[in-house]
């Protein structure tokens, strides 16, 4: 009987040593079942570090770099209302720095108007400069403005829009509806698009499904390397973004910059003729080739066309209640490309600068011949 208390004491000591010596034992583990019993649900564990995919990280890196060089542009012009009051009219758009000295590319329509006051707000939302216009290119809706930064400004690299491919990723940065520093992504939907507006026809545009809205105009369209391949210019229709936006290829801007560097100004070529498009039955009625072309209606005195010997009409006839001059040259090809419609000459001129040669194939005296015209220079409108 005396051995029983000793035996129980030994068992209790051995049990205590065994339990307290286990490496995984702790009070919290022992009480965990009781804690869970008091909860109706358990929340998921929160990730301690964010892990981004390769495409996400590419977007983030490009945004950090490009947003610093993208600016908000405010243009103010003064108009007279019906009561002869002079009131300010304000417009907004985007732009981007192309060098550390403060030169900024944007759309012409962002800084349009006679003698606008232009202000540029930098990406920090605090720094604001007054800008001046260095050049405007109406045909390509481009403008170059300049500010005087207090320190070297961040700027973007200009890429090569001639190698842009349908399907490649693009990133747009700008200030849609005044929401500065907005990034949208998409792909190149098409290249070489022709877009008609009330004022001018644009050709060779880059189409994208990256969201572009009012205020994005003038902002950069970037490739996955962060190089600018286009300048966001317009959307399809007036109902806002529907996934069809257009950007001016950056190589147009590079051509403008090169002409500004070499000539000190941006020129607009001038041929000096007015034309009407004829084809089919109308051409045959005028004893012209049925494929038709651009029939010259007038040759301006002292123009490049006159110097090259292009001929205007000798008489006029009435076709469908409209007077048409006949007997002049019929332009059937431009730079070796057949005339297809009334915009053929305008499209060719959009690829030229003052002083460039334009080769015209004309039908004259029942045979075709080539005429080379050295284009003149027309004054740029405001």
- Given the residues 109, 161, 180, 209, the one annotated as active site: 109
- Given the residues 75, 94, 189, 217, the one annotated as active site: 217
201 flagged as catalytic: no
User: Rounded to whole angstroms, how far apart are CA atoms 238 and 169?
Assistant: 25
User: Rounded to whole angstroms, how far apart are CA atoms 379 and 382?
Assistant: 9
- In the chain, DSSP finds a helix count (H) and a strand count (E) of 7, 22
User: Rounded to whole angstroms, how far apart are CA atoms 94 and 176?
Assistant: 8
Give Dmax over CA atoms of the chain in angstroms.
Answer: 145
Helix/strand/coil for 42:
coil
Q: Please state, as a whole number, how many other Cβ atoms lie within 10 Å of the Cβ of residue 179.
A: 12
User: Rounded to whole angstroms, how far apart are CA atoms 79 and 88?
Assistant: 6
- Given the residues 137, 141, 180, 209, the one annotated as active site: 141
189 flagged as catalytic: no
Which of 89, 90, 123 is CA-nearest to residue 104?
123
On whether the CB atoms of residues 103 and 146 are closer than 8 A, the answer is: yes
User: Rounded to whole angstroms, how far apart are CA atoms 166 and 149?
Assistant: 37
User: Rounded to whole angstroms, how far apart are CA atoms 214 and 301?
Assistant: 43
Sequence-distant (≥ 6) Cβ neighbours of residue 290 within 8 angstroms: 279, 280, 283, 284
Q: Please state, as a whole number, how many other Cβ atoms lie within 10 Å of the Cβ of residue 354.
A: 18
109 flagged as catalytic: yes
Q: Please state, as a whole number, how many other Cβ atoms lie within 10 Å of the Cβ of residue 321.
A: 5
Indicate which residues carry an active-site annotation: 109, 141, 217
């Amino acid at each position: 009987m005396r051995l029983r208390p000793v035996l129980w004491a030994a068992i209790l000591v051995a049990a205590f040593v065994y339990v307290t010596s286990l490496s995984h034992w702790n009070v919290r583990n022992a009480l965990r079942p009781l804690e869970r019993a008091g909860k109706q649900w358990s929340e998921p564990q929160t990730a301690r570090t964010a892990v981004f995919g390769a495409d996400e990280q590419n977007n983030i890196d490009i945004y950090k770099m490009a947003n610093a060089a993208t600016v908000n542009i405010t243009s103010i012009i003064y108009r007279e209302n019906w009561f002869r009051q002079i009131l300010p009219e304000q417009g907004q758009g985007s732009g981007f720095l192309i060098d550390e000295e403060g030169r900024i590319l944007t759309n012409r329509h962002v800084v349009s108007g006679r003698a606008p006051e232009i202000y540029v707000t930098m990406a920090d939302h605090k720094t604001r400069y007054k800008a001046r216009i260095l050049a405007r290119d109406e045909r390509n809706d481009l403008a170059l403005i300049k500010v005087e930064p207090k320190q070297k400004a961040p700027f973007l690299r200009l890429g090569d829009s001639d190698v842009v491919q349908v399907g490649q990723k693009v990133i747009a940065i700008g200030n849609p509806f005044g929401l500065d520093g907005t990034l949208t992504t998409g792909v190149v939907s098409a290249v070489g698009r022709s877009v008609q507006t009330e004022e001018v026809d644009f050709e060779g545009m880059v189409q994208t499904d990256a969201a572009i809205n009012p205020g994005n105009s003038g902002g950069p369209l970037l490739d996955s390397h962060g190089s600018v391949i286009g300048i966001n210019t317009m959307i399809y229709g007036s109902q806002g973004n529907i996934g069809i936006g257009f950007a001016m290829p950056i190589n147009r801007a590079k051509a403008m910059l090169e002409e500004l560097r070499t000539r000190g100004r941006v020129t607009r070529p001038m041929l000096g003729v007015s034309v009407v498009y004829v084809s089919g039955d109308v051409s045959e009625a005028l004893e012209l080739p049925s494929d038709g072309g651009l029939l010259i209606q007038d040759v301006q005195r002292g123009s490049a066309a006159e110097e090259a010997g292009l001929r205007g009409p000798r008489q006029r006839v009435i076709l469908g209640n409209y007077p048409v001059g006949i007997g002049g040259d019929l332009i059937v090809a431009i730079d070796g490309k057949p005339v297809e419609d009334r915009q053929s000459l305008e499209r060719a001129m959009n690829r030229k600068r003052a002083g460039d040669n334009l080769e015209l194939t004309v039908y004259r005296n029942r045979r075709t011949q080539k005429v080379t015209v050295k284009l003149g220079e027309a004054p740029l409108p405001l």
